[in-house]
Amino acid sequence: MVRIYGDCLSGNCYKLKLVLELLGTPHVWKFTTWKNGGTRTDAFRAINPAGKVPVLETSKGEMIPESGAALYYLARDSHLWPQREVDRAQVLRWMFFEQYSHEPNIAVSHSIRTGIYSLDNAEERLAALKPKGEEALATMEQHLASNDWLVAGAPTIADIALYPYTSKAAVAGFELEAYPAVVAWLGRVERLLGFISFDEAIAQTTPA
């Protein structure tokens, strides 16, 4: 059985909880948070020297850090990983887009507005992030205006990767109503069998 080290306050950790639930994969969740240096201990650095969550531990005890790598491992033999090589490349394209264009702007804005990040120049930082976040949402809108899903007309881990912080874009200060195709896509993800929301994942994986 796989084990996940993580805290679903992080969208990168939530991605793994979401794909596990969508696939009905048995797993153990080991609550591990970066708060108060929880990922900087010697014990955790033995699991991931980078001191970051999430980390997936396979049934053989092998460690897979980084959410994208863990998503692939979990979905590699499922319907969430397409068969055609070109479609697999497109999945990777959207996952790279999420990490380099979407998350640095929308996720960071969300973290600032919700107090996960505490910055002296928060308003200045939010103002700088907003145009690039809007550009990322516009890129998704253009594609989803003529496609129900990001790749190959079916849900894949590309959708799972982009769902978490897109679903929190309004909290992050972005006007989602300006992106109706994105809103419709969010609804399609939320209707998938086994779907679990960001808030539900936090409640299920965070100790009382």
Tokens describing residue 206: 């965070």
Q: What is the mean pLDDT of the chain?
A: 96
Does the domain at 2-79 match CATH 3.40.30.10? Answer given as yes
pTM assigned to the model = 0.96
Whether 118 shows a pLDDT value over 90: the answer reads: no
How many whole angstroms separate alpha carbon 173 and alpha carbon 182? 16
Confidence of residue 117 (pLDDT cuts 50, 70, 90): confident
How many whole angstroms separate alpha carbon 178 and alpha carbon 181? 9
Residues 6+ apart with CB under 8 A from 85: none
CATH topology of domain 85-190: Glutathione S-transferase Yfyf (Class Pi); Chain A, domain 2 (1.20.1050)
Q: What is the pLDDT of residue 73?
A: 98
Domain regions of the chain by residue span: 2-79, 85-190
Whether 187 shows a pLDDT value over 90: the answer reads: yes
Whether 102 shows a pLDDT value over 90: the answer reads: yes
Q: How much of the chain exceeds pLDDT 70, in percent?
A: 100
Q: Roughly how many angstroms between the first and final C-alpha of the chain, as a whole number?
A: 24
